[in-house]
Amino acid sequence: MRALAGLLLFCVATIFSECSAFACRLSPRKSSLVLSAEQQETNINDDSTDKGDKGAGTWNPLSLAVLRLGFTEPAWTSPLNYQKAAGKYNCASCGTALFSSNGKFDSGSGWPSFWKTISSDRVELKKEWDGRIECRCQTCKGHLGHVFPDGPTRGSLEAMELASVPETDPKIGYKVQNNSDSSFSRMPRYCVNGLALKFEKEGVL
């Protein structure tokens, strides 16, 4: 019943988002609370209201449903699943850099996945009632997704990248023969909603 109610609210938010975009096309003025149609067509995640603040802040109702209400977007719906360019993945709410393309991998889960954060103290963890571990933006406390112990094996990753794992990242990957350094041991998998992120391409101001 709870899942059905969540799906219904997500659908309502989707309809609201589409209506907002349609209203922008009809109105000669651009409301400060509603994105312009041109912005939405340019980049689904580029929904900032203050370009002078490095793109921080969002009025996208779908992003807010994830960040503030803890909703989960449907699998395979985020364009960030297929993003291969080098760059940073920032919080869609406050603009804090959370992950980089160096820590991204294809998990096959349907959500953007990362095996490490970009730096210490960027992502905080919280154990939920059902045993899952929620990950949130340390700066604004926005909901990002969850962390699981089935990330990539250590042996499949570059030694230089492994050496740069932030100290505050969780040590929850599956271990082999109680040896955390085994090439078959796994790193964490940050399973993140694409709506909670904004991609900042490397070299683009």
Instruction: Give the residue numbers annotated as catalytic, written as ranges.
Output: 191
CA distances from 171 to 6, 94, 115, 163 (A): 31, 26, 11, 14
- Sign of the Cα pseudo-torsion (154, 159, 163, 169, in order): negative
Burial of residue 202 (number of CB atoms within 10 Å: 0-12, 13-18, 19+): exposed
Structure-derived torsion over alpha carbons of residues 144, 145, 150, 153, reported in degrees to the nearest 10: -20
Distance, in Å, from the CA atom of 108 to the CA atom of 96, rounded to the nearest integer, reads: 26
CA distances from 188 to 32, 55, 120 (A): 39, 29, 15
